[in-house]
Structure 1
């Protein structure tokens, strides 16, 4: 079973990363520790992450809240009762409506078992989820990081992470994702928490400017 971080180990891992990489020590000195970002391991959390694909966090949350208003509790069965028009009224695009319904159907059919994921390796989870239309590596990365608290995930497809590393380490704009992945190798086995520090830096530095 993959290593997990908890509220009680989170800050000590941040400190260890600060010892591994002076730039992280600087982030902690400047902005404090990152929030303990987590979500429950539920269908709703995966729906939320799908809604966050390629849009602002605020607009994804608006859509999630609209869905909550409509069905009270976001479950696979309740989502499948909604028409596409009703999903559209909840700010869900045609594509994301299809992705969310595919996921709901897979869970009801027993093809996907979120509880079982809690005991599984990252790559086994990734293989099962990526088989579903509309779920790619970024969605799996965020789910495994936030809902399962696996310690060593690096979401190289996340634009904020990419920009944050480039800014923090004063790298040229044309630095490739492959090169960033190599830099992240030095943060093993804590690349998830390193990513939390990078998001924290990105959000805090943006507020400052």
Structure 2
């Protein structure tokens, strides 16, 4: 077991990040202890990393503990929790925009990634066209049936495991037939190496989109969600997302949800940090 102190530049609101992680019942989060336990897989080695916040919003500091793979673990946690992003630059950008008050309310909220790109894509497929509560329930059933629990932390099933599933097995958990086919298909593509997440990390947003949109079951919303929450790309704004539309309606006190044309106009001034605008708007509704 090793332990490392990590200090980053503020602001960084880990408590708001934890509250969002806590929405997912599969995540192991302790709000009072300011703790999250992260499942990490390096090839065939599975590791649980504990992150405990010991600092403040302005002076963020963390204790990281894990059993092995110190260098890889710290690198991956830096990616997931975006510890190398200077959030003050993001905040200052929005002080000259109409979202100033929103960014003041959610000061220092980071864009935290899903713990694993493959499970992020599978989760996006599961979440399609169902309400958030049922989406979490479906994902929880899926992971607890086919994943693995280590030291009280759930790991999503591997691509190889997912590829071997039958549609009927997922139908038992209230998956639609089509959604079950999509999930198994993505498992098969990943297991065979046709879908390579390491390669996607090196590609531009448009290139990633072109690769993913070919996959059965993957549409624009899923691509944008993946770019934001699997790859941490900072300049995505899913204008087709109902949650964002409702958040804009509420924030700007509109009589009805904004049209796509109005949303395109709004977002011009939010470049190059559109992902943060989207995240903070979602947060305003959560």
User: Which TM-score band (shorter chain)?
Assistant: 0.7 to 0.9
When the two structures are superposed, what TM-score results if normalisation uses the length of structure 1?
Answer: 0.85
Runs of 4+ in 1 over 6 A off after TM superposition: none
Report the counterpart of residue 207 of structure 1 in structure 2. Answer: none
* CA-atom RMSD in angstroms: 2.2
Contact between 1:41 and 1:115, CA under 8 Å: does it hold in 2? no
Structure 1 residue 197 displacement after superposition: 1.1
> How far 1:163 moved relative to its partner?
1.4
Aligned runs of 1:17-56 on 2, under 5 Å? 17-22=93-98, 24-30=99-105, 32-34=107-109, 36-56=111-131
Larger RCO (CA within 8 A; separation ≥ 6): 1
Structure 2 gap ranges (5+): 1-78, 148-155
Answer 1 or 2: which has greater strand percent: 2
SS class of match (1:20) = coil
- What's the offset of the Cα at 1:8? 4.5
Shift of 1:149: 0.7
Q: Which has the larger radius of gyration?
A: 2
**Does the CA-based 8 Å contact 2:244-2:282 persist in structure 1?**
yes
CA contact (8 A) 1:43 1:74 kept: no
Distance of 2:106 and 2:178 partners within structure 1: 38
- The 3-state SS of whatever aligns with 2:100 is helix
The size of the alignment, in residue pairs, is 199
Structure 1 spans left out of the alignment, 5+ residues: 204-209
Aligned twin of 1:76: 159
- Comparing both structures, which one devotes a greater share of its residues to helix? 1
**1:86 maps onto 2:162 in alignment:** no
Say which is worse superposed, 60-69 or 46-55, in terms of deviation. 60-69
Answer yes or no: is the 8 Å Cα contact 2:88–2:108 preserved in 1.
Answer: no
Match of 2:85 in 1: 9
- Is 1:177 the counterpart of 2:240? The answer is no
